[in-house]
Amino acid sequence: MALKTVTIAGGGLAGLALGIGLRRHGVPVTLLEAGSYPRHRVCGEFVSGIQPEELEALGIRDLFAAALRPRETAWFDGERLFFRGTLPESGYGVSRHWLDQALAERFVDLGGELRTGQRWEGGGLEAGTVLASGRVVTERREEGAGWFGIKAHYGELECVADLEVHLGEGAYVGVTPVGEGWVNVTGLFREGVGGGKELMERAVARAGLGGLAARLAGARQRPGSLKGVNRFRLGWQPGYGRGIRVGDAAAMIAPVTGNGMTMALQGACLVLEPLLGWSRGELEWAAAERGVCLGQRRRFGARLFWAEALQRVLMTGWSRRVCGFVLGRDWVSFDTLYRMVR
Ligand SMILES: Cc1cc2nc3c(=O)[nH]c(=O)nc-3n(C[C@H](O)[C@H](O)[C@H](O)COP(=O)(O)OP(=O)(O)OC[C@H]3O[C@@H](n4cnc5c(N)ncnc54)[C@H](O)[C@@H]3O)c2cc1C
């Protein structure tokens, strides 16, 4: 029996992992990626909450075998350390520059058709097409869409923990090693601060994180690694519910949780079975769409809600201090907060 072809629009983590998962079952897959590989992305590159069996189901577990396994974490309110501890489980520190390229190679090795430099221009999502094109960028600055993200790799940057999180006014900056001597520094800010090579240092200083800005000024920025994004919103993305969407194209979790990549991979796991059923002719596309939407809402709904609430608390001075006080007294454990957003 001939299997029907699945077209995936977008070759980030979600699209590539899904493509690999489908190819392992022999489904013909065409993947359109607007950009090329390798390339740097705005991402903290700290993966947390993904289970080995989920990576196994997608056929990509081995790609994480050599990744760093961050466990120790330190959280700062401005210059003040307010929490230091151990994550309930080790995460992964992995460069997207390397990972996306490795995933793309695996997809092609498995017989997937990868068309780089090709943008999907479809209006509606017809049967057989999955949208994995990442966060929806809005044309104008609308309510709730004023975020600005910046990332760069730094060399010769000493870290005090495997994962440092620096909280400032309307901002957070994560610092985590990703291998080969590079440290990922990624920030989410409420306001943009222009451009240029010192963009990160300026944004960090303006968020009231002068100590971190000085550390960055004394470190070496990896050429080509400075990237920025703006005009995106958190939560379920505009258009969600129409067609099958996966990863950030479906929903974007508050970045401070370090769970977006995991959601992209778990989202790929979740749509695998319905797409297999459709490709084999066992399931109507409309039924697959309904099943995926319901599954995503069940799996991610509460997580998205708590993540946004937690990020709001952490990025606001007074509520952040309350949070530090509560954690310090052990009234709520760090583990409880960690589990709520996974
Ligand atoms: C500031 C910040 C920090 C973050 N930190 C972390 C973190 O530490 N840990 C974590 O787990 N997550 C983090 N995330 C989230 C994480 O980066 C995303 O959740 C993840 O990249 C989503 O993967 P994706 O495949 O859905 O989208 P993407 O990785 O964005 O990939 C989408 C792809 O689609 C392509 N594309 C777009 N439009 C089209 C089109 N029309 N046709 C064809 N191709 C198209 C793009 O070129 C891109 O390659 C962070 C996000 C931000 C903004």
**Residue range 284-341, pLDDT digits in tens:** 999 999 999 999 999 999 999 999 999 989 988 889 888 888 888 888 888 888 988 8
Tens of pLDDT, residues 55-71 = 999 999 999 999 999 99
Tell me the CA–centroid distance for residue 43 and ligand 1, in Å: 7
Q: Could you tell me the sign of the dihedral formed by the alpha carbons of 297, 299, 302, 304, in that order? A: negative
Determine if ligand 1 sits within 6 Å of the CB of residue 258: yes
Smallest Cα–Cα separation from 93: which of 178, 154, 180, 182?
178
What average pLDDT does the chain have?
93
- Pocket probe mutation, ligand 1, options 20, 39, 64, 248, max atoms within 8 Å of Cβ: 248
Annotate 241-276 with b (16+ C-beta within 10 A) or e (fewer): eebbbbbbbbbbbbbbbbbbbbbbbbbbbbbbbbbb
Task: Check residue 1 and give its pLDDT.
Answer: 75
**Arithmetic mean of pLDDT, 67-86:** 94
Task: Check residue 194 and give its pLDDT.
Answer: 72
With residue 325 as reference, give the H or E element that holds it.
helix 317-328
Tens of pLDDT, residues 198-236 = 889 999 999 999 999 999 999 999 999 999 988 788 999
Smallest Cα–Cα separation from 231: which of 312, 148, 123, 340?
148
pLDDT at position 143 over 80? no
Q: Are 151 and 66 in contact (CB under 8 A)?
A: no
pLDDT at position 124 over 90? no
d(CA 150, CA 228): 4
d(CA 20, CA 109): 9
Tens of pLDDT, residues 34-44 = 999 999 999 99
Tell me the CA–centroid distance for residue 151 and ligand 1, in Å: 13
d(CA 126, CA 59): 27
3-state secondary structure of 319: helix
**Arithmetic mean of pLDDT, 230-259:** 93
Q: Name every residue whose Cβ is closer than 8 Å to that of residue 128 and which is 6 or more positions away in sequence.
A: 4, 5, 6, 7, 278, 285
Task: Check residue 327 and give its pLDDT.
Answer: 84
Determine if ligand 1 sits within 6 Å of the CB of residue 35: yes
* CATH number at 6-40+98-141+232-340: 3.50.50.60
Task: Check residue 172 and give its pLDDT.
Answer: 94
Determine if ligand 1 sits within 6 Å of the CB of residue 101: no
Determine if ligand 1 sits within 6 Å of the CB of residue 293: no
